[in-house]
């Protein structure tokens, strides 16, 4: 990578006090506006609407022009009284309500496309939220490590002075320097992870993905309250989810297909109207012969339905059964995932409380006791390092639980369509 590009990327990734803050809601709005699938669904809906209009129209009428009964010996149009110039109009009519049902099918597909578009928006919001919380965790992890490094650096400085005075061993100093170097590697690892996550976020929100993220975290009380219920059946909630509604629209389309198939038992017919003009002269009266008008109706009557109409109805009925099964499976799947998300949220919330009430408090007390014991020469330096690293690890684990819980809550909101 050229040095200018590399430096430019580092500048974008550098978060400073003057950087513009990007809020979660703004990031969601930007992602929704930039999502190319929005145009795809709009085009699909426009296509269905146009087809609904076109498929509800009668077939184009047929016009017939011709000559009839022209004598081949003279090719005259006025010698033979049967010779005539003919003009005909023919119109085909569909079976029963087939045209209206065709239009209804495309209207239902338009509604299904709208539901799928809404589901796509919910999925994208969930994606942005998950990326957001992952980035925020890496931010906080770096902050914790940087703060601990500064505190540990002060401890190393004190250790240097005590070593110069002969109060500490060289081995303690080497261990302290090693642990201090490990901080840099851990900070760099989280910075690398943050860079990768921001690289994913930039796909959806553009250059603003490298802005400082708003530290304010959402509370989402409606979702928190919903997670407290004891029921394991969420079908009433899920019935209004856009993806489930789209599955119901597919069933409605299949039901409409059955109605269309049943129309095939009704006859189709065609109306023909003809006009014939004759140029021949009546030899008895010397006047022009009368023009001719004709008309007919042609019926297409389904008499043998076993191998055609019956089979079309059977296929349409089975198609509806398939769509119904797909919806049922989707509801079962969503209900299971939502139950798992609620259980994870509640269990993680309990674990976080345990960290706050016990683990973090005890870890801090332990590190303080180890540090004081080392200063009093009652324990060795390894115990000091271990206690400090244990406290740091628990702090990072707590933050990881906190943001994992927010991601779980975001998934619950997806099923709430919020």
The total of other beta-carbon atoms located within 10 Å of residue 186's CB is 18
Query: Per residue of the chain (418 residues), what is the pLDDT tens digit?
Result: 444 333 444 444 444 444 578 999 999 999 999 999 999 999 999 999 999 999 899 888 999 998 888 787 777 777 777 878 889 999 988 888 999 999 999 999 999 999 999 999 999 999 999 999 999 999 999 999 999 888 777 666 665 555 554 555 566 667 777 777 888 899 999 999 999 999 999 999 999 999 999 999 999 999 999 999 888 999 999 999 999 999 999 999 999 999 999 999 999 889 999 988 887 776 556 577 788 889 999 888 888 888 888 899 999 999 999 999 999 999 999 999 999 999 999 999 999 999 999 999 999 998 888 878 777 766 666 777 788 888 899 999 999 999 999 999 999 999 999 9
The total of other beta-carbon atoms located within 10 Å of residue 235's CB is 12
Place of tokens 């009925």: 317
Minimal CA–CA distance to 44: which of 124, 116, 121? 116
User: Is this prediction's pTM over 0.85?
Assistant: no
What values do phi and psi take at 212, rounded to 5?
A: -65, 135
Minimal CA–CA distance to 418: which of 331, 329, 338? 338
Q: What is the pLDDT of residue 415?
A: 97
How open is the CA angle 377-379-382, to the nearest 5 degrees? 120
Residue 212's DSSP bridge partners are 21
Q: What is the pLDDT of residue 340?
A: 95
CATH code for the part of the protein at 14-58+96-264+308-416: 1.20.1600.10
CB environment 138-164: b (16+ within 10 A), e (fewer): bbbbbebbeebbeebeebbeebeeeee
Q: What is the pLDDT of residue 16?
A: 42
Q: What is the pLDDT of residue 15?
A: 41
In the chain, what are the domain boundaries?
Answer: 14-58+96-264+308-416, 63-92+273-305
Asked whether 260 and 276 are in contact (CB, 8 A), the reply is no
Tell me the two tokens of residue 237: 């909630």
The rounded Cα 223 to chain-centroid distance in angstroms is 20
Helix (H) or strand (E) holding 136: helix 98-164
Helix (H) or strand (E) holding 242: helix 242-262
Place of tokens 């992952």: 134
Radius of gyration (Cα) for the chain, nearest Å? Answer: 40
DSSP category for residue 304: -
- Classified as helix, coil or strand, 36 is coil
Q: What is the pLDDT of residue 158?
A: 62
Asked whether 19 and 213 are in contact (CB, 8 A), the reply is no
Residue 95's DSSP bridge partners are none
- Classified as helix, coil or strand, 220 is coil
Q: What is the pLDDT of residue 12?
A: 43
Residue 213's DSSP bridge partners are 22
Q: What is the pLDDT of residue 300?
A: 86
Helix (H) or strand (E) holding 119: helix 98-164
- Classified as helix, coil or strand, 76 is coil
Place of tokens 């490094």: 149
Q: What is the pLDDT of residue 163?
A: 55
Q: What is the pLDDT of residue 406?
A: 96
């Amino acid at each position: 990578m050229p040095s200018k590009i590399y430096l430019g990327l580092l500048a974008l990734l550098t978060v400073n006090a003057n950087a513009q803050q990007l809020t979660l809601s703004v990031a969601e709005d930007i992602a929704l506006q930039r999502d190319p699938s929005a145009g795809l669904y709009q085009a699909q809906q426009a296509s269905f609407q146009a087809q609904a209009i076109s498929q509800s129209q009668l077939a184009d009428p047929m016009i017939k022009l011709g000559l009839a009964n022209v004598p081949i010996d003279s090719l005259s149009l006025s010698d033979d009284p049967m010779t005539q110039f003919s003009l005909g109009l023919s119109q085909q009519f569909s079976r029963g309500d087939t045209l209206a049902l065709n239009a209804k099918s495309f209207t239902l597909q338009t509604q299904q496309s709208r539901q799928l578009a809404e589901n796509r928006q919910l999925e994208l919001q969930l994606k942005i939220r998950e990326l957001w919380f992952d980035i925020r965790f890496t931010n906080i992890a770096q902050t914790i490590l940087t703060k601990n490094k500064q505190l540990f650096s002060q401890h190393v400085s004190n250790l240097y002075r005590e070593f110069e005075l002969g109060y500490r061993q060289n081995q303690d100093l080497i261990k302290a320097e090693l642990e201090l170097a490990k901080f840099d590697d851990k900070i760099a690892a989280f910075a690398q992870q943050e860079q990768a996550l921001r690289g994913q976020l930039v796909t959806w929100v553009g250059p603003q993905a490298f802005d400082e993220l708003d530290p304010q975290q959402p509370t989402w009380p409606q979702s928190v309250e919903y997670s407290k219920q004891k029921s394991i059946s969420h079908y009433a909630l899920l019935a209004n989810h856009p993806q489930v509604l789209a599955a119901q629209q597919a069933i409605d389309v299949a039901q409409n297909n059955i109605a269309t198939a049943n129309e095939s038992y009704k006859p189709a017919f065609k109306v023909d109207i003809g006009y014939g003009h004759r140029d021949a002269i009546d030899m008895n009266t010397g006047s022009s012969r009368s023009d001719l008008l004709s008309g007919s109706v042609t019926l297409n009557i389904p008499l043998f339905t076993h191998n055609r109409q019956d089979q079309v109805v059977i296929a349409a009925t089975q198609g509806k059964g398939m769509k119904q099964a797909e919806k049922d499976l989707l509801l079962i799947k969503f209900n299971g995932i939502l139950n798992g998300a609620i259980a994870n949220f509640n269990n993680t919330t309990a674990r976080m409380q345990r960290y706050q009430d016990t683990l973090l408090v005890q870890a801090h007390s332990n590190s303080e006791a180890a540090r004081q014991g080392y200063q009093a020469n009652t324990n060795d330096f390894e115990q000091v390092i271990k206690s400090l690293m244990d406290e740091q690890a628990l702090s990072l684990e707590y933050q990881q639980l906190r943001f994992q819980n927010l991601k779980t809550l975001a998934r619950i909101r997806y099923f709430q369509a919020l």
